Structure 1
Amino acid sequence: MVQTLRKPEIINIARREGKVTVEGLVDHFGVTPQTIRRDLSELADAGELERVHGGAILPSTTANIGYSERRDLNLAAKVDIARECAKHIPNDCSLFLNIGTTTEAVAAELMNHLGLLVVTNNVNIATILSANPDIQVVVTGGNLRRWDGGLIGELARATISQFRFDYAVIGCSAINEAGDVMDYDIQEVGISKAIISHSDKVILASDISKYDRKAPVRIGSLGDVDMFITNAPLPEASRDLCSRQNTRVVTVS
């Protein structure tokens, strides 16, 4: 495939999967690693991609990528993470699920649970769980973000403050190598902090692509959650932090 045709396809793969690797693109296009590295360098120079070790990602910005694109990114990994997460949620408990495509996948995996009280600031999650009459669903209210069904603002935080949850499952937009858990929207971060402070056990569910992204607002650290469910080994600094803070790391394959 000529270079002018490869480049748009490389961008499409990055949008679909969250990142591209030299090895994967070599297999996909049947060209040499040197050719792919040159393509990635030229795309990076043009601002289309950002180079990372072994490949490239979509450029870092202060805004998240589109919701429909995020829903499809690393979909198989999200389902695996969601299934593992559901194993750690017992029947007959109270639970908070926050905004995010991974937490929506968790909601789908909870459909066979019984006796749950689920509070959420995610309209999509409420819709998913409404199909199970054995799950009581409470929606926080708040300012609606139409593009992803999220509810944010003071009303959402005030609702959370009325509860003490047995479990919370939260997502995030990025995790840096030091183990800081990050997001894009400062109002959403305020909600995440309230969830953490009002929950007995907090599970962070996030695929490893979040290590290749950057976001400007800090939620907390991996040491602030009880369990981190992901799909690949952590960087050494994050692994050490989890060990020191007794955060259990569960890696699905």
Structure 2
Amino acid sequence: MALNIRQMEILELARATGRVAVEELAERFDVTLQTIRRDLGELADQGELDRVHGGAVLRSGVSNIGYEQRRRMNDAAKSAIARACAAEIPDNSSVIINLGTTTEAVARELLNHRNLTVITNNMNVANILVANDSCEIMVAGGALRRSDGGLVGDLTTEFMAQFKPDFAIIGASALDADGDLLDFDMAEVRVSRAIAGLARRTFLVTDISKLERSAPVRIIPMSEVDSVFVDAPLPPDLARQCVEWGTQVIVAPPRR
């Protein structure tokens, strides 16, 4: 079935933000809620979106959304999360930063920090922090993933194993309701696991929409994370679990 113009615009909005809401779409297109629900149903039937309560999200699966698309999604949320995370990183400290568009947002917020040592397997992070002339940047070797500037593989993991930084800043492609961090690429996951196990403190940076996505490979449980930086409160059950685990949750809502 061919998409109508409104459905194509809805799909573009979903690709830009990661999710769409029925009420907001009805107001935007000046149509009834039922019309929007029917549009979302048809988009779901064609495999473009997954229905969730109150709207729809980009379809999850066994492969990740493209890098450029991910970079544009939830930009305000990522910026808020990044500011909150960077505020917890003192000058004169060492930091490992892994792959992801949210970790790249953290790198931008570290540009005014002084005397940092940053170890990364993310070429985008390295290129961002080049502008900070007091920052020492150490880039892992490994196989370059051209799609997003990531370095992965056994060589990357071996390189990371040489360090014991003050902080690890990690992202994830999805979060499970029980608190597991999930991703798509096994080679990337091996590096992320190594990074989380090296640092004195591990920070997870993620927007709340990751709870509406799925990915097939488990990274680590949230119980192994010291602090979670997120743009909205976690679901009550998961929030209670974080208290039991001793995992701090820092909510940083986007600026209006």
Q: Same fold (TM over 0.5)?
A: yes
**What residue identity is the alignment partner of 1:151?**
L
CA RMSD in angstroms comes to 0.9
Q: Secondary structure, in 3 states, of the residue corresponding to 2:162?
A: coil
Q: CA deviation at 1:236?
A: 2.2
**Counterpart residue number, 2:12:** 12
Q: 2:179 and 2:236 mapped to 1: Cα distance? A: 10
Q: CA deviation at 1:42?
A: 1.4
**Counterpart residue number, 1:123:** 123
Q: CA deviation at 1:131?
A: 1.4
Q: Could you tell which deviates more after superposition, 60-69 or 40-49?
A: 40-49
| Structure 1: stretches of 5+ with no match in the other structure | none
**Counterpart residue number, 2:28:** 28
Q: 2:169 and 2:77 mapped to 1: Cα distance? A: 16
Q: CA deviation at 1:133?
A: 1.4
- Scaled by the length of structure 1, the TM-score of the pair is 0.97
**Counterpart residue number, 2:228:** 228
**Counterpart residue number, 2:207:** 207
Q: 2:65 and 2:110 mapped to 1: Cα distance? A: 27
**What residue identity is the alignment partner of 1:46?**
Q
Q: 2:238 and 2:220 mapped to 1: Cα distance? A: 13
Q: CA deviation at 1:120?
A: 0.2
**What residue identity is the alignment partner of 1:91?**
D
- Aligned residue pairs, count: 251
* Structure 1 position 60 matched with structure 2 position 99: no
**Counterpart residue number, 2:39:** 39
Map 1:111-150 onto structure 2 (within 5 A).
Answer: 111-150=111-150
Deviations 1:146-169 (A, max 9, x none): 010000001111111100010011
**Counterpart residue number, 2:101:** 101
Q: Could you tell which deviates more after superposition, 45-54 or 121-130?
A: 45-54
**Counterpart residue number, 2:249:** 249
Q: CA deviation at 1:32?
A: 1.2
Q: 1:234 and 1:4 mapped to 2: Cα distance? A: 36
**Counterpart residue number, 2:110:** 110
Q: CA deviation at 1:33?
A: 0.9
**What residue identity is the alignment partner of 1:30?**
D
Q: Could you tell which deviates more after superposition, 210-219 or 19-28?
A: 19-28
Map 1:114-193 onto structure 2 (within 5 A).
Answer: 114-193=114-193
Q: Quick check: 1:222–1:238 contact (8 Å CA) kept in 2?
A: no
Q: 1:174 and 1:206 mapped to 2: Cα distance? A: 9
Q: 1:7 and 1:204 mapped to 2: Cα distance? A: 34
**What residue identity is the alignment partner of 2:89?**
I
Q: Secondary structure, in 3 states, of the residue corresponding to 1:147?
A: coil
**Counterpart residue number, 1:238:** 238
Deviations 1:67-125 (A, max 9, x none): 00000000011111111111000000110010011111100100111110000000011
Q: Quick check: 1:179–1:237 contact (8 Å CA) kept in 2?
A: no
Q: 2:86 and 2:23 mapped to 1: Cα distance? A: 33
**Counterpart residue number, 2:195:** 195
**What residue identity is the alignment partner of 2:72?**
D
Q: Secondary structure, in 3 states, of the residue corresponding to 2:219?
A: strand
Q: CA deviation at 1:16?
A: 0.3
Q: CA deviation at 1:205?
A: 0.3
Q: 1:237 and 1:152 mapped to 2: Cα distance? A: 34
Q: CA deviation at 1:187?
A: 0.8
Q: 2:48 and 2:127 mapped to 1: Cα distance? A: 36
Q: Quick check: 1:207–1:231 contact (8 Å CA) kept in 2?
A: yes
**What residue identity is the alignment partner of 2:53?**
H
